[in-house]
Chain A
Amino acid sequence: MSQNAPDPGARALDRSDVRLRHDEGLGGAIRAFLDRIRSGDLGMLPVAVGLVIISLVFSALNPVFLAPNNLVNLLFDCATVGVISLGIVCVLMVGEIDLSVGSMSGFASAMVGMLWVNNGWPVAVAILAALAVGALVGTLYAFLFNRLGMPSFVATLAGLLAILGLQLYILGTSGSINLPYQSPLVKFGQVLLMPAWLSHALALLPGIVLVVIGLGNMNRRRAANLSPGSMGGLIVRAVVLTLALEAVVYYLNLGRGVPWMFGLFVALVLVMNYAFTRTKWGRSMIAVGGNREAARRAGINVRFIYTSAFVLCSMFAALGGILSAARLASASQQAGTGDVNLNAIAAAVIGGTSLFGGRGSAYSALLGIIVIQAIASGLTLLNLSSSLRYMITGGVLAIAVIVDSLARRSRVSHGRA
């Protein structure tokens, strides 16, 4: 018993309504989880189920699929499009879309190639320049949207073509620029791996942070006479998370190990998750996506929120383009074309970010891109032609959107829209 609790007999502030079923302890946590799923608040469930099915099917068809080194390669690939997808989460959160992220990523890789390799700029400056151009493009979209009332999908569709044109223009007749293999950037994109001890240590961190923050919260809530929540649930979550992460890291270390590039991607996801859930800015993003006029009347600067979403999206797209240039050791006319756009958007939606705005999470980019790249990798191992790969990926995206729409309908009918 905490000595702060004013009166052990008194009910906690948030437990005074008699109609409320009090889900205490571990059983309560599980029951609350099932209730949420039933009312259409699916969260990460479709992804988890999807990943299990994908692994079972592809490893049955080709055992190489689950080989440690194939998974390591998968993580390298995830990082590039995953970063782009993180930007897509930002625009989807406010209920808008950016269809030009593929072109933006291709243009950024071309810029780095031109400035760094052809013009001899320091690589860091070339990268910063590409990111700055990304910010500029995002600002332009925000201007078209905020001031001229242009729907974002039209503005960014125009941007898709215009930026692709720019990419082809600066690549000129040669069509592609090779990046030097010995440069740190290309090494980062192809071979840099964490030492095993470090990856194991990092895998411990989330569980520790979860417990420390969780216990702190419980104490503060108890002191404030709010129900503290279940200690058992917290411990179980932390233990399961830590065991899962350690198992994954152990398995990856049987192969080459955990790529630093994937580490960067995860770090960005964690930063964005903090921003979405724990800052005023993130709260405002969700509010604008849910009810723009209500957000405006609450005194939120709605235009600034849209601008920040578009700018972040284009900057993440540029960064993703730079990472994929590093991965391929080249900046070519093909960079950012084809299925990059679609994969980035599909990853966010598959991961559980709603196309309808106001609902989503940074983790959806991480989980969604793992699903997408797992399918891509599995299909490549089966030696399927790209025509079939496109059709299958398209089908998966359609399923993800259907799940999103159905879940939304269920939320509306359960009053949780």
Chain B
Amino acid sequence: MTDIAGADARRTEPVLSLRNVSKNFGAVSALTDIELDVHAGEVVALVGDNGAGKSTLVKILAGVHQPSSGTIRFMGQEVQLTDPGAALDLGIATVFQDLALCENLDVVANIFLGREAVPWRLDEVAMEVRAWTLLNELSARIPSVREPVASLSGGQRQTVAIARSLLLEPKLIMLDEPTAALGVAQTAEVLNLIERVRDRGLGVIMISHNMEDVRAVADRIVVLRLGRNNGVFLPDASNHELVAAITGATENAVSRRASRREAPRMTAQEEPR
């Protein structure tokens, strides 16, 4: 399976394929006619400004929200993601931006929530061992898995949420800003993990505001702007192009800021001694 990676992936049928997906919250059109393909063994980065609709799209694919219109095909079948259980059963795992952990339960209980080993006689030992294995794969820094999640730091919670998404061996994994709160080592681990998951032939959707991380692992970069598709880029696209697509203008706050920082340095260089 490992050879189905990178460019070869695009020739196979996509794992996930969205056509004309729209979502309205009352009068707000959060998403309009979104098209998106994710192939096996491919990392698709979803980027866009705050409020562009990235999380809304992820929640639709996780079965949390229902699309107002449009079709979703998963593994070649048209699917209705009526509730989160349906998405999980299909093999779509999600790390939500707000993590969606139960603070009153401990780390093991959170990782296995809804998927406990042996429903009528919980196997705490097996679950704890598996939890440690998952957490160690992520080089997690968690002192004890028997403490309630409320006592963990933001980054530790994020690691727990990521560990949970890996539990079920999903076919598609969606990470909504997975590295926002992570330390240097943990971010590197998550990026490594994304590559490992990709090499195992899974599809990955990753949302991030960090262009460096995006370039490092993404095979394609899909830009959303104000709830619409606004271009697809390869990771070697220039920063300027990406920023223009994200903000919707060549003249924007980012470019103005960049030129402001350039200008004094230029004058300093030109200054005669």
* A residues neighboring B (CB under 8 Å): 13-14, 17, 19-20, 217, 220-221, 224-226, 278-281, 283-284, 286-287, 289-291, 293-301, 358-359, 411-412, 414-417
CB distance from A21 to the nearest CB of B (A): 9
**Is A416 in contact with B121, judged by CB distance below 8 angstroms?**
no
Contact of B101 with A294 in the complex, beta carbons under 8 Å: yes
**Bound: A415/B126 CA distance, A:** 27
- Given known A-B contacts A286-B104, A291-B101, A298-B114, A226 and B84 have beta carbons under 8 A apart: no
Of chain A, the residue at the smallest CB distance from B89 is: A299
Q: Is the CB of A20 within 8 A of B150?
A: no
Nearest 9 A-B pairs (CB), nearest first?
A290-B104, A299-B85, A298-B114, A280-B119, A415-B151, A17-B143, A294-B100, A298-B113, A299-B114
Point out residues on B near A: beta carbons under 8 Å: 62, 64, 83-85, 88-89, 94, 96, 100-105, 109, 113-116, 119-122, 124-126, 128-129, 132, 141-148, 150-152
Q: Are A283 and B84 CB-contacts (below 8 A) given A17-B142, A17-B143, A293-B100? A: no
How many angstroms from the CA of A358 to the CA of B125 in the assembled complex?
A: 23
A-chain residues with CB within 8 Å of residue B89 when the two chains form the complex:
299
Task: For the A-B complex with A280-B116, A415-B151, A415-B152 known, give 11 more contacts whose Cβ atoms are closer than 8 Å.
Answer: A17-B142, A224-B125, A226-B129, A226-B132, A280-B119, A283-B109, A294-B101, A297-B84, A298-B84, A299-B88, A358-B104
Contacts of B125 in A (CB 8 A): 217, 220-221, 224, 226
A291 to B124, CA, bound (A): 22
- Tell me the bound Cα distance from A297 to B116 in angstroms: 15
Secondary structure at the B interface, as helix, strand, loop or mixed, is: loop
Distance of B26 from chain A, by nearest CB (Å)? 18
Q: Kindly state the separation between the CA atoms of A70 and B143 in the bound complex, as whole angstroms.
A: 50
Cα–Cα distance between A19 and B141 once the two chains are bound (Å): 10
Q: CB < 8 Å: which of B103, B115, B119, B147 contacts A279?
A: B119
Assess whether B143 is in contact with A19, with CB atoms less than 8 Å apart.
yes
- Minimum distance in angstroms from A290 CB to a CB of chain B: 4
Given contacts A14-B144, A291-B102, A417-B148, contact A278 B121 (CB under 8 A): yes
Contact across chains for A416 and B114 when beta carbons are under 8 A apart: no
Q: Is B115 touching A299 in the complex (CB atoms < 8 A)?
A: yes
A14 to B89, CA, bound (A): 30
CB pairs A–B below 8 angstroms (10 shown): A13-B132, A14-B132, A20-B144, A224-B125, A280-B122, A298-B100, A298-B114, A299-B84, A359-B104, A412-B150
B84–A290 touching, CB < 8 Å: no
A17 touches B141 (CB 8 A): yes
**Distance A294 CA – B101 CA, assembled complex (angstroms):** 6
Q: A14-B145, A278-B121 given as contacts; is B85 within 8 A of A291 (CB)?
A: no
Q: Please indicate the chain B residues that have their CB under 8 angstroms from the CB of A225 in the complex.
A: 129
Alpha-carbon gap, A17 to B122, bound state (A): 26
A416 and B150 within 8 A (CB): yes
Complex CA–CA separation, A294 to B141 (angstroms): 23
CA distance A207 to B146 in the complex (A): 24
B93 to chain A, nearest CB (A): 10
User: Contact between A416 and B119 (Cβ–Cβ < 8 Å)?
Assistant: no
Residue among B89, B109, B113, B151 having the largest count of chain A Cβ atoms under 10 Å: B113
Instruction: Report the minimal beta-carbon distance from B142 to chain A, rounded to whole angstroms.
Output: 7
Query: Which residues of A lie under 8 Å from residue B150 when comparing CB positions?
Result: 411-412, 415-417
